[in-house]
Structure formats: structure tokens, C-alpha cells
Structure 1
Amino acid sequence: MLHKILAPAIATALLAGCATTPAAAPDSQAAFMERLSALCGKAFAGRIMGSEPAGADADMAGKPLVMHVRSCARDRIEIPFHVGTDRSRTWVITRTGTGLRLKHDHRHEDGSADKVTMYGGDTAASGTAGRQDFPVDAESIANFRAIGLDRSVTNVWSVEVSDARDAKPVFVYELRRPAGPTARLFRVEFDLTQTVDAPPTPWGW
């Protein structure tokens, strides 16, 4: 008899608890990948918005800059970055068991790998749906040191992608290093409000 009396009260309490329990936090990294996937197949023109020290990116000055969200799978997105006729660079973003990973695939015109390639890092925090940061990983640090690029061992790369409803939706790629003798900033911004013709296949792909 007691259980018949208590059952409605227990059910009511459970329902009340459900009503007041906060919803689970959204997966910001899944949302970030969804924003990128929404751009799949499209290409956009960009411009350099930050370059330090002065002259560090002189080889890009005056050249068309185009990013192309060329290939999208649930756990991997490939984004070639074309600088004029140079088709050597592809940003590769993948899911890992603990977050997201950014790698830079660099190729020569014959398709062979550049000596500086597949470097990057993993997310150390959940980030947001609009921005993810990728501190340099141990493998990249070792490779940089092996080829004399010690200045790059504190690199942090970031990728931003606006919500399509934002007033000025953009895609941003950024490289930065802390203040000091090796300080570095490279930031390129792509306007997502207007597509451009898809560029040719990147070298080696």
C-alpha cells in the first residue's frame, strides 16, 4: 500500500527535477566542424589583416589569396590555401579522441612532400563554435628543431568561422607567437559573403 501512495509523489518529484535541470552544454567543437562543413565545395577570396614582423609575408603581397573547402567528412575537413599560382598548402582539420587537430600539408609542384610539412597541433581547450586554437604539438616541435626552425616551437594556430547569420561572416586563419625576439603574427581573413571560382586541385592531391 505504501508504494502506491509514494509512487505519484516520486514521479512528481522526478518530473520537477527534470524541469529545473540545465540542458547539457553544446559541443562547441562539433558545432565548429558543422560550420566548416556548411562551406564545403565553396571557395572564397581573402586578404592579409595582420603581418608581423614587417616584410615577413612579402611573398604573398599583391597575389590573389583563395581558400577552398574542398573535402568534408564527419571527422576530416581539407582546406587548400592558394597563393596566386602556388598550390602547395592544405589545412587539414580532423577530430581526435580528445578534440580537434590542425595539420599543414605542404607539397611541391610534383606532388612530393616539402621538408616542412604535416606540422600543427591539437586543441588544448574546447574553444567555441566560432574559434579553435591549436598550440604546436610535440611532434612538430621535434621536427622544427631538427631542421633549424627553433623560432617556430611556440607557434599557436587559430581558425575562426563565423555563423552564417553574422553581420560580416568570415573565415580566418591565424598564426601567432608570443612577444619576444621570435614574435610572429600572420592573419588572413576570407569574406564568406561572396564565393569565387574553385581553384585547381592542390599539388599532390
Structure 2
Amino acid sequence: MIRFVFPLFACGLLAACATAAPADSRDEFMATLQGMCGQRFEGALSYAIDPNSEFAGKKISTQVQCAAQAVRMPVQVGENRSRTWIFTRPVAGLELRHDHRHEDGTPDAVTMYGGMAKEGGSARSQAFLADAYTARLVPGAETNVWTVSLSEDGNVLRYRLDRHGKPRAEFVLKRVGG
């Protein structure tokens, strides 16, 4: 009888220990973005610290483009197509980069800045902290936090920049089409 009880006890113990690992919100966020492939979003600047911002009064749009290792969101501001938000999932975490290009496709002097997602994000929202490269490249940006979020219904994409703990700019883009 003891021979049968021990294996049953051990199996029960192992089953109790074999609980699923908690989901990683960074993986969930990338899955959310990849679920948006091909979707187009349009809107405008809803807040800027500088009322004379180059974004003021211009239509802002993006279309989600997916590849195996990255989600890209080329951002058009009025006629300007120089910006792309790039999300990747390196081993170190979840990363957001801002790729800025000239009309001929060559990199701008201020490009590829951004940083890694901080702890505590969700499948629909992540906050990215400026890294050392960004701090060297963009004066004053060492405290930048970019928050990218998607509404529960998937219809509103929000991009917000905070610097020195204060809001600096925010875009609210609504999904276009079905």
C-alpha cells in the first residue's frame, strides 16, 4: 500500500508546484502590437508644452508594420514622414527607438534615441525610460519617459512624452477603418 501512496503523493506535490509562470507584460504588449499589424491610426497633438510645436495643427498618422523581430510605426506629421517608432523585444527587455531620417533616407543627427520599458507595464501600456545614449544625444532628455498605450477596444493609440516628471507632448490617434 505504501508503494502506491508515495507516487500519488509525489505526483500531487509536483502538480501543485507546476503552476504556470506569470505572463510577462512585455511579451503581451508585443503580442498586442503584432495584433495591430496593418491597422492605421490618425489624430493630432492633444498636448504640447510648446504651443508653437512643429506638430501643432497638423494631422498625425501611423500604420502598424510587423516583421519577425520588430514592430514599426512610421509617423507622418502633415507631409513630414521622417519619423518611425520601432519596438523590439531583445533579451534585455522591451525597447522603443525613434528613427529619424532625412527625405533621402539618410539618418538624422538625432536618431535612434529611446530606451527600455520599465517594470510594471501591461499588455496594453508600457512606459519606456530614456537610456544613456539618449541622454548624451538629446540635451535634457535624460529623464524622458515615453508611454505608449492602446485602449481596451483597440481604437485609440496614445503616445505620451514626459520630461523631468512633467507632460511634454501627447498624441491621441484613432483607428481608421474596420
Determine if the TM-score, normalized by the shorter chain, exceeds 0.5: yes
One-letter identity of the residue aligned with 2:117? T
Q: Determine the structure 1 residue equivalent to 2:114.
A: 120
Q: Kindly provide the amino acid, as one letter, of the partner of residue 55 in structure 1.
A: P
Tell me the TM-score normalised to structure 2 length: 0.87
Question: Pairwise mapping of residues 42-61 of structure 1 onto structure 2 (< 5 A)?
Answer: 42-52=39-49, 54-55=50-51, 57=53, 59-61=54-56
Equivalent in the alignment of 1:67 = 62
Query: Could you tell me which of 23, 27, 34 is aligned with 2:31?
Result: 34
Paired residue for 1:105, among 99, 102, 110? 99
1:156-195 mapped onto 2 (5 Å cutoff)? 156-163=145-152, 166=153, 169-179=155-165, 183-192=166-175, 194-195=176-177
- How far the C-alpha of 1:24 sits from its partner, in A, is 2.3
Query: 1:147 matched to which residue of 2?
Result: none
Higher alpha-carbon Rg: 1
Query: Does the 8 Å CA contact 2:45/2:57 hold for their aligned counterparts?
Result: no
1:133 counterpart SS class: strand
For 2:140, what is the secondary structure of its paired residue?
helix
- What stretches of structure 1 of length at least 5 have no aligned partner? 145-149, 197-205
Confirm or deny: 8 A CA contact 1:99 1:122 kept in the other structure.
yes
Could you list the per-position Cα deviations for residues 58-92 of structure 1 after superposition, in whole angstroms to 9, with x for gaps in the alignment? x222221101112x124311110101110000001
Residues paired across the two proteins, number: 178
Partners of 1:45 and 1:195 within 8 A in 2: no
CA distance in 1, matches of 2:46, 2:19: 40
Q: Counterparts of 1:30 and 1:56 in 2: how far apart (Å)? A: 37
Query: Alpha-carbon deviation of 1:14?
Result: 2.9
In angstroms, what is the RMSD of aligned CA positions? Answer: 2.3
User: Offset at 1:184?
Assistant: 4.5
Structure 2 unaligned spans of 5+: none
Shift of 1:19: 5.2
1:173: how far off?
A: 1.1
Q: Matched residue of 1:11: which SS?
A: helix
Aligned partner of 2:81 in structure 1 is 87
Question: Higher mean Cα deviation, 99-108 or 61-70?
Answer: 61-70
